[in-house]
Structure formats: structure tokens, C-alpha cells
Chains A and B, each alone.
Chain A
Amino acid sequence: MIRRQLRVLRICWRAAVAADLEYRLQFLSAAALSAFWMVWAVAGASVYFRFAGSVAGWTHGEVLVVIGLFFTLNGLRQTLLQPNLELMSDHVRRGTLDFLLTKPFDAQLLVSLGRVRVTNLLDPALGLVLTTVGVGLAGRGVSPGRLAAFLLLLACAAVLLYALTVLLMAATVVLVAAEDLDRVSFAFVELSRFPVDLYRDPARTLLTVVPVAFLTTYPGAALLGRLDPRLLPVAVLVAAGAVALATAAWRRALRTYAGVGG
């Protein structure tokens, strides 16, 4: 079952990548722009450190770790989630969702992961480079335990993002004209640009509950060895709960879907 799903996804992705790579200049200039935005974000954050050695207990290097993770997750969002969300509102508006639903394949998987866009493929890689640089600057060293906790939390963050996308897809089915729902997922990731500790309450608490903190702050803190280990099971639970919630919402939305004819 899972092998078949992976095979179908691979075929979908290969087709999408081939189509994207036809526009080579676009790909190259987008890659250059990715690097530029990263330098931009680093330069922007460095303004604070002209006036303070650390903000809310985060040094310059430690903040860079989180900014790197922000680029990693944002790149994933733009590569995997955004193209599917865009396609989804087309499907609902034009009625082509009917065809997808009649295919002998898990429709949720197909609408949520069937498309990829290579434009921002470089972002996750560049982000991890920045994170590595940040870890070096922070000078706290690395240990296998920290690395393992970091990878687990990063996986949870990716799952959270996926759950949000499925939730937005369900919303698209109900609201129909909802291209701008993509901006919700943009905002969710954008809020994770800095460690949530950098904001003061009530924003800080709000962003922990919402759960923006699980995207970049906690994985970054784990990598730096400053995370409360009790948060590890919490993160797993939050991610699993989010997926369950989103899947339920998707099923419910499909029940209300009447089809608009292709």
C-alpha cells in the first residue's frame, strides 16, 4: 500500500520537476534570490545586536540557528505545500476535484503532496547551512543526543506544516474561492522567523499555544542543548494531534462537497 503510494508520488514529482526545469533562467534567478533573502534576513536581525549582546537570553549565533530553520521550513512550504494549495483552489472552483476523488488513489495524499515546485528547493539547504554556522558561532558544541532531539523536533515541525495544509485544503472545499488561504500558511511560518522568546507576553504565550514555537524555536533550542526535554513527547503529541484533526476536517469537508461539474 505504502509502496504504491510512494511510487505514484514519485511519478507525480518527476513530471512536476521536469516541467519546472524547462524554465532554467527562472530556476537560476530564483536560486540567486533565495540566497539574497537569506543574507537580507541575517543583516536585518543583526541590527538588534548593535545594541544588545543577547535578546531574551538568545545570542546572535543562537538567533541565526533559528533563522536558518525558518528558511528550511519556509523552503519546504514553498516547495511542497504552496503549489498544492494553489492547485486545490483551482480544483474546487473548476470542479476538477471530482476527477481526483474518483481515482483509485488516496485523494488526500494526491491533493496535498501531488505537486512540487523546484523554485525554492535551495532554501532548505541554505537554511541548514545557516543553522550550522549559527551553531558554530554559539559555541555550545554538538552531541549525538542533541542532534537526535533536533531531528525528531524538525520532523514534528514538518508534520505540523503538513497538517495545516490539509486543514486549509478542507477549508478550500467549503469556502471555494480561497486562493488567499495560502497566506495563512505563509503567516504561520513567517511568525517563526525569530525564536518566540524574543517577543514579550502575551505574544510569546500565544505563539507557543498556536503552536508556532514548535516550528523553529524548539528544534533550534534542542540543537543548542537548551530545550526542556519534557517538550519532546509534547511535540510528538502536538504533531500527531494536528494530523488527526486535519484528516478529520478533510473527511468532513468532502462530505459537504457537492461537486460543481468539470
Chain B
Amino acid sequence: MRDTLTAYRGLARGGTLVAVTYRGRLVLRVLTGFFPLLMMAVWLTVVAEGGPPAGWTAGDFLAYYAAATLVVNLSGDHVVWQWDADLRSGDLSLRLLRPLHPFHQYAAADLGQRAVTLVALGPALALAAVLSPALDYPVTPARLVAFAAALVLAYALGLLTASTFALLGFWSTQTANVWLLWWGLGSFASGWVAPLELLPPWLRTAALVLPFRSMMGFPVELLTGRLDGAQTAFGFAVGLGWLGVFALLYRFGWRRGVRRHQAVAG
């Protein structure tokens, strides 16, 4: 356990250094991930023309999408690409030789990179919220703590689902496409395409019990003060439940997969 922690610290530092070294790339990634902002821009036009849809004012949309940008950039699912690349190139064999499970190697490096994003985007959002009257978050200490916890849960669930899907690489070469399909379907239930309150009722109901909302919509809704105590507790329960499900799936997949693994030359 202590060894794992030490390794985490070292690998996370490595990830941070990589992110800081290629900071231009990081900025570009954040800037080009603007799809939700396009959606927001159109919503603002809808509000200006026909009044707030379902009670959502321009300020509500701004607060929602600004928080969503932060949460999306802190997502833990980026590891799927590194897994996929390593399985294809054979570099996974190298990682298997190290005294730390590959899952932790990927997770630690990714945590280091996300830390840079958090340090850059978190204060930026806080500053914008203080300076701009349009960006209004009803923050209380309790709500901030809940938001931070939901953010950690979102990260962990993203990391675990992405790693589970990455294991498909032991059987198939189509990991990336399967992952994109899963992500694309999920983006409607996560709050990425539009805030869940604006979606048809059947989709909203489904989204409440599916795993996707825990990875994006739930923390955002918490921060924007849209959830009462019971809804918050329910959200955490759903997220933790899926975390358990994917932890089991991951363990199962890893045991079966690594036995099948035929290393490609590195």
C-alpha cells in the first residue's frame, strides 16, 4: 500500500511535468473542446427570442456550461487512449513488468495531468464567477464540499469505465470505436448535449439511474444549486453503485484478458 502511494506520487509528478512541458497542447485541448459552448450559444439565442425555455434563463445556461467545461476537462476517461495505444504498440508488456498494476500507472499519470487542468481552470472559473454578475453560483460551504466529493466520484467513475472498456483491447482492435459509441450514447444522459432538465421526460428518468450523469451532470447540478438533499444523496448512491459495478467488471475483465494477452513486439 505504501509502495503504491509512493509510486502514485512519482508517476503523478511525471504526468504533471509532461502536462506543464506541453502546456500549449493542453490549452489547445481545452479551447477546441468547445462543443458545449456552441450548444450554449444557441440556447442564449433561444432565450433572447422566446423567453427562458423550461424556466432556464441566460444566467442559468452560462453557469451550467461554465461549470460543465470545468468538469469535462477534469474527466478521468482520457486513459482509454493510452491503454489502446499501448495494447497496439506492445508497450503494455513493458508496463506489465513493472511492480505496479498498469491501471495504477495510467491513473497516476493522468491524475498528474488533471491536476494541472484543475489548477488552471478552477481559479479561472472562480474568478469569472466573482467578476461577472451573469455567472452566479449559489455557493455554501456544504455545497462546495459536496461538489468536490462529486467531482472526485466523477473522476473515479470515468477512470474506471474507461479502463474497463480499454480491456476490450485484449479481444478486439475496435476498442476506440466501441468507446466512442458508449460515450456518444452517454452524452445525452450525462448532460453534455443539453442540461437534463431540458430533455424529454423519459430520457431524464433513464439518465437518473444510468452511470453517465454521475460523470458530468451531477457535479454541475450540485454546483448550480439545482439539487435538494434527497436528490443529492440519490445522486451519490447511483454514482457509488456504478463505481462498484465497474470495479467488478474491471477485475473480471482484467483476469480473463491478461491471460489471453499475446504481446505484440514492443
Contact = CB atoms under 8 A, between A and B. Distances in A.
Contacts of A237: none
Interface string B218-255: 00000000000000000000000000000000000000
Contacts of A186: 32
Interface in A153-196: 180, 183-184, 186-187, 190-191, 193-194
Contact of B31 (A25, A30, A50, A187): A187
A52 B53 contact: yes
B25 A180 contact: yes
A211 B193 CA distance: 25
> Which secondary structure characterizes the binding site on chain B?
helix
B3 interface: no
Nearest to A49: B46
Contacts of A190: 32, 34-35, 38
A200 to B, nearest CB: 5
B5 interface: no
A43 B200 CA distance: 11
Name which of B42, B44, B48, B181 has the most chain A CB atoms within 10 A of its CB.
B42
B42 A48 contact: yes
A194 B42 contact: yes
Interface residues of A, number: 31
A229 interface: no
Nearest to B178: A29
Contacts of B42: 48, 55, 194, 198-199
B31 to A, nearest CB: 7
B48 A26 contact: no
Interface in A14-67: 25-26, 29-30, 32-33, 36-37, 40, 43-44, 47-48, 50-52, 55-56
B55 to A, nearest CB: 11
Interface string B66-90: 0000000000000000000000000
B: contact size bracket:
20 to 34
A203 B38 CA distance: 10
Contacts of A56: 45, 49
A61 B198 CA distance: 21
Interface in B27-46: 28-29, 31-32, 34-35, 38-39, 41-46
Interface string B174-212: 100100110010011000011000111000000000000
Given A36-B184, A183-B28, A190-B35, A47 B45 contact: no
A29 B32 contact: no
Nearest to B199: A47
A26 B31 CA distance: 30
Contact of A47 (B29, B49, B177, B198): B198
B1 interface: no
A199 B39 CA distance: 10
A51 B46 contact: yes
A6 B48 CA distance: 51
A176 to B, nearest CB: 13
A48 B40 CA distance: 11
B21 to A, nearest CB: 11
Given A48-B46, A51-B46, 6 more contacts: A40-B184, A52-B50, A180-B25, A183-B29, A187-B32, A187-B34
The 8 closest A-B pairs by CB, nearest first: A51-B53, A199-B41, A47-B194, A29-B177, A183-B32, A44-B193, A187-B32, A198-B42
